[in-house]
């Protein structure tokens, strides 16, 4: 099973984390990502996040699977 610490947190680049903090979302925080996971997934799927280009399909699929698996820490 996927975990936030091992599998998901590393997907967010330091510049992504810094860009989102002023908007009230800390992508390095399990609690923040867990509570916003569906909204983040939606933005990853439509390509609006991150702002400088899409994630690879495999990374989006991994994020989706983490949600489906119960969003383990």
For 15-46, the pLDDT digits (tens) are 999 999 999 999 999 999 999 999 999 999 99
Q: What is the 3-state secondary structure (H, E, C) of 54-70?
A: CCCHHHHHHHHHHHHCC
Domain contains 16? yes
Range(s) of the domain holding residue 56: 4-68
Confidence (pLDDT) at 20: 95
Look up tokens 């609006």; give the residue: 48
Q: How many domains does the chain have?
A: 1
For range 4-14, the mean pLDDT: 97
Other Cβ atoms closer than 10 A to 56: 10
pLDDT of 10 reads 97
**pLDDT tens digits, one per residue of 44-65:** 999 999 989 899 999 999 999 9
Task: Measure the CA–CA gap between 20 and 72, rounded to whole angstroms.
Answer: 22
Q: Does the residue 73 lie in any domain?
A: no
Check residue 51 and give its pLDDT. 84
């Amino acid at each position: 099973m996927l975990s936030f610490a091992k599998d998901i947190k590393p997907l967010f680049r330091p510049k992504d984390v810094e860009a989102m903090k002023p908007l009230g979302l800390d992508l390095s925080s399990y609690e923040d990502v867990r509570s916003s996971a569906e909204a983040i997934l939606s933005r990853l799927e439509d390509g609006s996040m991150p702002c400088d280009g899409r994630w690879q399909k495999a990374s989006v699929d991994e994020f989706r699977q983490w949600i489906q698996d119960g969003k383990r820490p």
